[in-house]
Amino acid sequence: MAPRALWKGQLRLSLVSIPVEIFSATKTGARVSFRQIHKPSGKRIRYEKSVPGIGPVDAEDIVKGYEVERDEYILLDPEEIDEIKLETKKTFELVQFVEACEIPPLYFEKPYYITAADDLAQDAYRVVRDALRSAGKVGLGQVTMRGKEYLAAVKPCGDGLLMETLRYEDELREADEIFTDITDDESDKELLDVATSLIERKTAPFDASAYTDKYAEAMQELLNAKIKNKKTPRVRTDDEAPSGGENVIDLMSALKESLKEAKSSKSTAAKKKGTRKKAS
């Protein structure tokens, strides 16, 4: 299935605007995923959005709330949030250019691909790509995706453009907070020479395919072995999630049943009391 664009709009360089689309450059891969199961019953654990005293609620009845004081919120409707006017919702303007080495690795967050939205946009798209490559620079700008305005860097990547979202400065913790106990003593020269030699011997071109997630592989092997083993405990779950209405009906049935039992107990107690009076 073809990937879906996360953002569609204009990539702008001064007076030049290019229709583009942005796609995620990452995928989850073949990771092992689990469901939570209630062991005694073998049923799946479910998490429902509910209100105390009311029960499960519909998604359309949920709005965002911002806490101004303890237990006091101001409410925001989706329409109010959508009305926030930001040019970066539809326009990604490259406002500055820097050397790639000027951006500390700590700032880089997630990679995305930027591609021309149609054939007519390809000429201008190629010009921006080749100009960045020729200048050896990275373009900086801001773009709004999924309810957040990101700072982002753009650079050539093969035949296209790579965008990497960057963390804002106030999102980063000062290193001094963590390294405060590290002293400024000089390293032992002999040990330093040995460590440097080890690094040089193990230096090689980067090859991402040489590294795999060994934990995921071991987990998959464990699962495969348990699947083949006929003695492995198994459960069958009911994947049909009960609706809120059914929960209300079940609750009403339980309450009525409890009421019947209460009346029955009361009636039995009254009869016993009457019998004792007659006997006396």
Grouping H, G, I as helix, E, B as strand and the rest as coil, residue 62 is: coil
Q: Residue 58 falls within a domain, yes or no?
A: no
Q: Residue 213 falls within a domain, yes or no?
A: no
Q: Residue 235 falls within a domain, yes or no?
A: no
Contacts of 13 (CB under 8 A, 6+ apart): 93, 94, 128, 139
Q: Residue 128 falls within a domain, yes or no?
A: yes
| pTM assigned to the model | 0.72
Are 58 and 50 in contact by the 8 Å Cβ rule? The answer is no
What pLDDT tens digit does each residue of the chain (280 aa) get?
Answer: 678 999 999 999 988 999 999 999 998 766 788 888 888 888 888 888 999 889 899 988 998 999 999 989 999 988 888 888 888 999 999 999 999 999 999 999 999 999 999 999 999 999 999 999 999 999 999 999 988 999 999 999 999 999 999 999 999 999 988 999 998 899 999 999 999 999 999 999 999 889 888 888 888 888 889 889 888 877 777 655 555 444 444 555 655 666 666 666 656 655 555 555 555 5
**Structural domain boundaries, residue 82:** 1-27+73-172
Q: Residue 114 falls within a domain, yes or no?
A: yes
Q: Residue 98 falls within a domain, yes or no?
A: yes
Q: Residue 232 falls within a domain, yes or no?
A: no
Q: Residue 163 falls within a domain, yes or no?
A: yes
Give the CATH number for residue 150. Answer: 2.40.290.10
Q: Which residue's structure tokens are 């305005």? A: 149
Q: How far apart are CA 163 and CA 28, in angstroms?
A: 19
Partner residues linked to 55 by β-bridges: 51
Q: How far apart are CA 4 and CA 256, in angstroms?
A: 51
The total of structural domains in the chain comes to 1
Phi and psi (nearest 5°) for 76? -125, 125
Are 154 and 114 in contact by the 8 Å Cβ rule? The answer is yes
